[in-house]
Structure 1
């Protein structure tokens, strides 16, 4: 896969950007130009924001679909409300819905509230657990790029303990943390009990929406409700130290416990909304047919892989529990 960063400008004024992921399909039959969560605007406010977004999409289509005969795929953000404006705009330009994610719901917290309003907005049970965690003698700290080893040790121990299928890009985190100041480098946050780190998170903090990337806990974190204290302080830190209005917690991968935790954190201030499917456009029929077939094939392979891995992990868990478990 090749990456092409794209900058959109009108004269000397930057309008926005996109990172285009170019994937050449097997046998060279066609290529896909994929834009995840973009394009993004330089200015998110203003009456012309929708028009500017439309111009950027049209420019991508002209370059990649028409000039270079690729299929253009755009993955829109989740948006509050029943209608996703980005998906509607793409559909009006001839984009067709393609493959979506298996668990599309996304949980987005409003981080702009003061402490009292934010506490009142949490779900009742979430607020109860947070108050319990505040009495547990835990310490919250903001990490530095040099703390990446501290986080990875916690994450690897959690992975070995829980035996969960990990399809994330966790191996890219060290490279992200090595980025210089003033870039899109994530922030690290930790909760400790005495000298022992029991919970941590890596958060993307640039732009209007901060995003949860990775989290890790040890055995003691659950009973101490360390995750509640961790996210409470992350929300406050984002409000006071960044330009973020929202905090995107991601999805749940179908885990009921994660749904309960994240929906309680969203509470009455934020939204729980589905990710639209990837929207696809091709100016030439062969590119559209090949690109659509490639996405379908990838979906089938992914489901098969997930099923095999889930079965293997379940066998490992049963082996740990012993005979008769």
Structure 2
């Protein structure tokens, strides 16, 4: 018989010690991420074995429903547990029991489990194929049978695949499809050779034009924000306030000085592009990017990404993560250009298992779904 696990709240120090023992944990599953989200109440939870050792951990964010003392409980890109344990119930049942006791009407989680991967070449072929409308229409380079089996197990346990959504307000959702460049065991010149011809040409063009990429600090966030606001207007998305990035910087760098970095690309006295980079263990993420429409010919975006990739390699990263990509391959999708940009790095498209909901209170869960659908329309 498999031994039962006990779930309890853990301290920030215990949580960080557990994160430090793992090769890869999402930046949304470290204690400081709770400080970035003041509209949510954050708790660190730990699964303990019979000897009291912490063998799993999760950052849960709780947000109250308007006018009702019931909560949406959200574990973004987590929890960090043994997802392939044949006795998965010993992990998830205590979690549901605890959160139900905390007043959760729905529990949302994002198992950090990869389902499929497509090489850069496979993605390029899919984009060129008129019959492929979505990434899943193209044959995957590799597939993880255990991940597909996990999805079936979650359904049998009463979990449902969550509808997609952004992270604004209640529409808590993380990308199911991301683009990553594997770094493990590769020298930097090998990674550079993996860039396509256009990328290598643009990096050289930026260098020749005199683009200088420098690391910034808290005091440079307003310069980043000016470009970010311009990018939001140009690409038609809702910009977060400057205070969000200031809070993010303070929370993450207080926890670890290298948890968040800011890079700025200068040319002839003007900042043309800026980006943030996040690091947890051997996983590095390109988090937010911003650029002006001016002087694009000097290629500041390629320059800033190559500097970040080089620094990530120096930090010992096993993977450089470009975060979300569209899974739609239609030419009419305005995000297709961003996918092409990321594919040029020679990495791979990665599909995760996606987010899952457990409706603790089915009536409130349904009402919440209706509320979110109305907000989205």
Q: CA separation in 2, counterparts of 1:273 and 1:164?
A: 25
Q: In the alignment, is residue 128 of structure 1 matched against residue 201 of structure 2?
A: yes
Report the equivalent of 1:280.
357
For the residues of structure 2 that align with 1:33 and 1:131, how far apart are their CA atoms?
47
Q: State yes or no: 1:291 paired with 2:291.
A: no
Aligned-pair distance for 1:279?
0.8
1:17 alignment partner, one of 35, 38, 57: 57
Distance 2:295 2:351 in 1: 30
163, 176, 194: which is aligned to 1:99? 163
Instruction: Provide structure 2 residue ranges, at least 5 long, that are not aligned to the other structure.
Output: 1-38, 117-142, 167-174, 327-332
> Aligned equivalents of 2:343 and 2:41: distance in 1?
35
CA RMSD of aligned residues (A): 3.3
| TM-aligned CA distance change 1:207 to 1:5, over 3 Å | farther
- Alignment partner, residue 6 of structure 1: 44
Q: Contact 2:46/2:56 (CA < 8 Å) preserved in 1?
A: yes
Q: How does 1:60-79 map to 2 (within 5 A)?
A: 60-65=95-100, 68=103, 70-77=105-112, 79=114
Q: How does 1:1-325 map to 2 (within 5 A)?
A: 1-10=39-48, 11=51, 13-26=53-66, 28=68, 30-40=70-80, 50-51=84-85, 54=88, 55-65=90-100, 68=103, 70-77=105-112, 79=114, 81=116, 82-83=143-144, 85=147, 87=151, 90-91=154-155, 93-101=157-165, 104-112=176-184, 113-159=186-232, 162=234, 164-166=236-238, 168=240, 171-179=243-251, 180=254, 182=256, 185-241=259-315, 243-252=317-326, 254-265=334-345, 267=346, 269=347, 271-282=348-359, 284=360, 287-302=361-376, 304=377
Deviations 1:56-85 (A, max 9, x none): 433312211477463211123472524583
Aligned 8 A contact 2:115 2:353 in 1: no
Alignment-derived partner of residue 319 in structure 1 = none
Structure 1, gaps ≥5 residues long? 42-47, 305-325
Q: Distance in 2 between matches of 1:183 and 1:3?
A: 24
Q: In 1, Cα distance between the equivalents of 2:303 and 2:94?
A: 45
TM-score by length of 2: 0.66
Relative to its length, the structure with more helix (as a share) is 1
With over 3 angstroms needed to count, the CA separation of the structure-2 counterparts of 1:172 and 1:89, relative to structure 1, is farther
Query: CA distance change for structure 1 residues 24 and 101 in 2, over 3 Å: closer, same or farther?
Result: closer
Contact kept, 8 Å, 2:179 with 2:342, in 1: the verdict is yes
Instruction: Name the structure, 1 or 2, with higher relative contact order (CA <8 Å, separation 6+).
Output: 1
Sort the Cα spacing of 1:14 and 1:254 in 2 relative to 1 into closer, same or farther, 3 A.
farther
Distance 1:239 1:100 in 2: 32
- Over 3 Å counting, the alpha-carbon distance change for 1:122 and 1:292 in structure 2 is farther
Q: Could you tell me how far 1:230 is from its partner in structure 2? A: 0.8
- SS of residue matched to 1:219: coil
Q: TM-score, normalization: structure 1?
A: 0.75
Deviations 1:175-194 (A, max 9, x none): 01123252684210111113
